Structure 1
C-alpha cells in the first residue's frame, strides 16, 4: 500500500512539473530590470490579479514561449502589480512589452499568437532613429524635401518624465509607420540643441512631421499611438504647414556669435555709461551742497529802529 502511494505521489510530481514547464515565470521589478540589462531580448507581460484579459495574454504567451526561444533566444516573464507599468503605458494591465537591447516596444493589439509573433519578429531591432546636430540634415534632408522620405521626429530631454514614459509608445509608432516614413528622436538638451533651436523647439516633448520641404507641428493634447499614427498619415493636412528653415552654415554661426557678443558688449557699455552718469550727478550734488553759503538770519524791525 505504501509503495502504491509512493508511486502515485511521484507520478503526480512528474505530471505537475510537466504541466508547469510551459508556464511563464513570475518575477519582481528588480529581477526584470536585471534581465533587461543582461539579455538582448526580453518579453515581459505586466499583469494583475483577477484580470481576465491578463490571463488571456498569459495563455497566448505560454504557447509562444518555444517560438520566442527559437527566434531570438529571449526569456518570457510576467510581473504582477508592477510599479513599472506606467512607465511603458498609461493604461492599466495587461501591458505587453518587447525589450530589444533594453529599448521597449509596446504591443498595442489583441492577444493573438499570430499578431504578437509577427510584431516581435519584424521589430527585433529598435525602429526609432537617434539624430543629432551632425546627422539631422544629412539624413532627413528636411529643408530640401529630397529622397529620404518623410520624417516624424520627437524632440526630448533627459530630465523630461513624459519623454521617458513615451519611449515604448514612440517605438510602437515607429514600428507601425516604418513602411511609410521614418520615425526619429532628437535630444534637445545635448547634441541636438542647435537643431531644436533651428525649429523653434523650446519644450519637451515636441513632435514635428517633416514632409516635402514643409514641417507640421503636432499640437494635439493626446500622446497615444493611434493619435500619433493618424496625424502622421492624414491629420497633418489640417495643420498649417511651415517652411523648413535652412540649416545654419559655420559662417552663420560665426556671425551669430559676433552679434551676440556685440549685444552683450553694448549692454555692458550702456550699464557703464548709466553708472558713470549717476556717479557724476551725485558728485555735482555733493559739491553744490558744500559750496552753498548759509543765509544770515533777517534782523528784526525793532533792532533797526534802535
Structure 2
C-alpha cells in the first residue's frame, strides 16, 4: 500500500515514508486493523482511517498537517467550552487521560484521527485527569482513565462503550450520543467545595464516616488544641516575672 504512493506522500507532505513489517508499533498506536498508516507531525501521531484509496489517504493527511486536538486544563476549560452556559463555542468531545494509563497512550493517534475527521463539525479535546485537569475531571465525575465525555448544549453524554476505534468515536459524536442518557453539566464548584470534593470522594471510597462528622470532630479537636496553646502562652509572662524575682 505505502509503496504505491510513497513518492506522492514524500512530495506532498515533505515526509519520510517508512514501511514497518511485524513491528510492535501496532500495539503502541493500537490500530484496529492492519495495514495501518500513522503520520507524525512534530512528534504527534495521527492514525489514518478510511478506505485504502490513494487519493483519500493523501487528502486526509494533507488536510491534517497540523494537530486538530485541543489541550484543555482546569484553567481554560470553562472559558473555552462554556459548558455551564450551554456551550456557545460549539459541541466538545473530550478524552480524559493520564500519564499512568497505558491504554490512553495508545489512543493518542486514534484521538487525533477523530479530531481530523470532525474538526469542522465540533471541538475535539484532551485533558489530563490526574494533573492539569483534575478539578474538571472531579466535577464531571470522571473516576478513571480513559474516559470520554461529549458536551452539547449544557448536557453531557458519557461514552461507555469499549470500542476505541476512530469509527466508533465518530459515530458516537455524530449521532450515537442520542442513545445515551444525558446529564446536566455540573455547576462550577465554589472554592470550598472544590477543596472538600476530593476529600469526600476519598472518604466514601474508603468507607470512612461522613465528611460532616469528621469535620465536626476536627473542629472540636482544633478548638481543644487552640485553648491549650492559648493557656500556655498566657502563663508565660507570669513565669518570667517569678524568675526575675
TM range (shorter): 0.7 to 0.9
Find the counterpart in structure 1 of residue 28 from structure 2: 87
Report how far residue 147 of structure 1 moved. Answer: 2.6
Distance in 2 (alpha carbons) for counterparts of 1:244 and 1:230: 22
Distance in 2 (alpha carbons) for counterparts of 1:242 and 1:188: 19
TM-score (norm 1): 0.63
TM-score (norm 2): 0.78
Find the counterpart in structure 1 of residue 5 from structure 2: 61
Q: Decide which of 194, 205, 216 is 1:266's aligned counterpart.
A: 216
Task: Check if 1:209 corresponds to 2:159.
Answer: no
Which segment is superposed worse, 235-244 or 189-198?
A: 235-244
- 1:47-126 alignment runs, 5 A limit: 57-62=1-6, 65=7, 67-126=8-67
Contact 2:95 2:127 in 1 (8 A): yes
Task: Check if 1:179 corresponds to 2:120.
Answer: yes
Find the counterpart in structure 2 of residue 191 from structure 1: 132
Find the counterpart in structure 2 of residue 151 from structure 1: 92
Check 1:234–1:267 CA distance in 2 against 1; reply closer, same or farther (3 A cut).
Answer: same
Contact 2:31 2:47 in 1 (8 A): no
Contact 1:157 1:189 in 2 (8 A): yes
Contact 2:32 2:165 in 1 (8 A): no
Distance in 1 (alpha carbons) for counterparts of 2:193 and 2:102: 36
Report how far residue 268 of structure 1 moved. Answer: 4.5
Task: Check if 1:166 corresponds to 2:116.
Answer: no
- Aligned-pair Cα RMSD in Å: 2.4
Task: Check if 1:253 corresponds to 2:184.
Answer: no
What's the secondary structure of 2:20's corresponding residue?
strand
Check 1:112–1:123 CA distance in 2 against 1; reply closer, same or farther (3 A cut).
Answer: same
Check 1:205–1:214 CA distance in 2 against 1; reply closer, same or farther (3 A cut).
Answer: same
Distance in 2 (alpha carbons) for counterparts of 1:164 and 1:77: 22
Contact 1:60 1:112 in 2 (8 A): no
What's the secondary structure of 2:45's corresponding residue?
strand
The answer to which structure, 1 or 2, has the higher relative contact order (CA under 8 A, 6+ apart) is 2
Contact 2:68 2:124 in 1 (8 A): yes
Report how far residue 68 of structure 1 moved. Answer: 3.2
Contact 1:60 1:111 in 2 (8 A): no
Check 1:122–1:266 CA distance in 2 against 1; reply closer, same or farther (3 A cut).
Answer: same
What's the secondary structure of 2:131's corresponding residue?
coil
Give the gaps of 5 or more residues in structure 1: 1-56, 273-306
Report how far residue 175 of structure 1 moved. Answer: 1.0
Contact 1:89 1:95 in 2 (8 A): no
Contact 1:96 1:106 in 2 (8 A): yes
